[in-house]
Structure 1
């Protein structure tokens, strides 16, 4: 093998080992990359969002009890970790919701009902910070997705800002704080 080819093979191998080639295809399944965005805001599911860092977890009670995992992209995570508000443009926060269920297996081991786990997924909500594009909604654009597809209900998507807007301005309209 000529020297220049051997060097190219070594360089490509090292780059692949370090972090993968920049031209690699994101291995996310098709359902996490819808072709259409959410109504009103045009927000889409970001590629690789399920691999983002953990922000927090929440349990919602009431008519539709669920358990929620909050994830954030690198821009949002840096702001969370440094306590920088408002979030900078490019910050994206993902909320993954699941039914909240008792674990029969775990409870059998413990001898009483005390263990609850995430059940079936219900939806994913995405918030994207772009202070120019979404100026009328505090700089945030919203989308809700079921089975990887945007929910087409404009009333539902518009209701996101209505609730977030009730939060103190000091939170940058974000419900979830960083769980350290």
Structure 2
């Protein structure tokens, strides 16, 4: 378990370092690949956003995950402000866990699995708690049936936290 912690700390450092170069690079996106139902796209420059928190998903998915956020979201997290303001964007990156070749006890990111996006717009997405969702594999949105499960899961589990699972890592 210690190796997993080391790998997640390394992942956090890599993502945080990228944030220094392009903190607000989220303006603009590829609208040709919008998610069904919500019309959410992968925001341009999201890989340079600040890290909210890493996560480890055990079986059956066996994934390493990291959630990054735009400046609007980071400021809300830091202020402890709920609900999140309109303009908040959260992006979850996920990879299969792989064993480190250099340090056997550690897990490192393997093959990418998904990029998932949440966008706060309380008017546009009023029916889903103010949030629009997008789930992407290889940069392309998954089918409508998979997007129908997004809000239901968030509503059932984290309605009291403005439908957001991830807390800001200390």
Give the TM-score of the pair, scaled to structure 1: 0.76
> Quick check: 1:117 aligned with 2:108?
yes
Query: What does residue 29 of structure 1 align with?
Result: none
**Bigger shift: residues 32-41 or 81-90:** 32-41
- Structure 2 distance, partners of 1:154, 1:105, is 41
Alignment length, in residue pairs? 145
Give the TM-score of the pair, scaled to structure 2: 0.80
* 8 A contact 1:40–1:154 mirrored in 2: yes
- Structure 1 distance, partners of 2:61, 2:132, is 24
Hey, which bits of structure 1, 4+ residues long, moved more than 3 A? none
Secondary structure at 1:35's aligned position in 2? helix
- Structure 2 distance, partners of 1:63, 1:55, is 24
* 8 A contact 1:33–1:148 mirrored in 2: no
Structure 1: gaps (5+ residues): 1-18, 21-25, 27-31, 108-113
Secondary structure at 2:40's aligned position in 1? coil
Query: What does residue 140 of structure 2 align with?
Result: 149
Secondary structure at 1:106's aligned position in 2? coil
Structure 2: gaps (5+ residues): 1-20
Q: Bigger radius of gyration, 1 or 2? A: 1
Query: What does residue 173 of structure 1 align with?
Result: 163
